[in-house]
Structure 1
Amino acid sequence: VPTPLTLTTNDAIKSSLYVDVFNILKDENSCSRFFGGAARAVHVLNQLTLQFRKKPLRSDLVGFQMSGHYINVSNLQTGASYRLFDKTIANSRGPIYNRNPQDAEAKRAVGRFQIHTREAKALMLLHELGHLLPGKDGNWLLPNDGGDGFLSMRNSRTVEQHCVDQIRALKN
């Protein structure tokens, strides 16, 4: 059974988002299998969670942004091979943290989930996880989509196809 992080942060949103996604990935299910199994998925989730920082980005519509060079990492214990980017930012002005969206923004969705729900936030973090892990074919589970809204939506739909039952189980 994968081990959860003990987060030492005053960031309640980051902590609750981590717990939601950890609970989705900790068991063998269609979602954790998409990411290569529970142990692998949780190991990389833990590294991603430790790395991401809350900062404002230009767009209120972006949840996360990974940028810079990346390093390839291998963990012999979990068998996880993955990459980590120099910077991973959780947008303090975006849907992860902003609790008072503008009317037009409140009507937006991430996949089938309204943008400011637990489900949408979990889908956003799972989406980022998909950029870090290679699939069986050696390509990243999700291709890089920075600046390409259509590809980003397609990537979210890909994650949703594998994880929708587990995400729906979160319920607000």
Structure 2
Amino acid sequence: MLNIERALKQDRLLRALTGLNRKAFECLLKPFNQIYEQTLLLKPRQRSVGGGRKARLRTTQDKLFYILFYFKCYPTFDVASILFDIDRSQAHHWVHRLQPILEATLGEKKVLPERQINCVQVFIERFPGVERVIMDGTERPVQRPTDSEKQKLNYSEKKTSYSQTSSSSRPK
């Protein structure tokens, strides 16, 4: 089993396993704990306190470490279950239970990355100091649409197949 206490004591090891140093981890722990406690209040307990088996991820600190480790390393649920001494189904359960809590925590701290920039105005607001942008377009094969109008939109003159052009911008 992974020794979480050891990882939390060594800054280098913590960074390697979660992507955060000790100070950033501690800074994230308090709001994560608050949001986790709020989610517990939304769903009433099925058993009284102390009932059921003893949890392997006992503290909120352990839970935060687990979800950060999962997103840093992306182990399979089988590997995560061995490392954290839990069943594979529990590894899956905890990832899907803790992910929205982590997203809410990062959103509250305003450090959640923005997934897409849909217009030039949003890009300019996000990156005001950028003077030039390089666009890189890559064609990817897609299933041929049955509608003739959609076929015309996706047809590639370069190749005799249907593909979708994906553009990504990179500030310089």
Q: Give TM-score, length-normalised by structure 1.
A: 0.25
The structure showing larger relative contact order (alpha-carbon pairs under 8 Å, at least 6 residues apart) is: 1
Greater fraction of residues in helix? 2
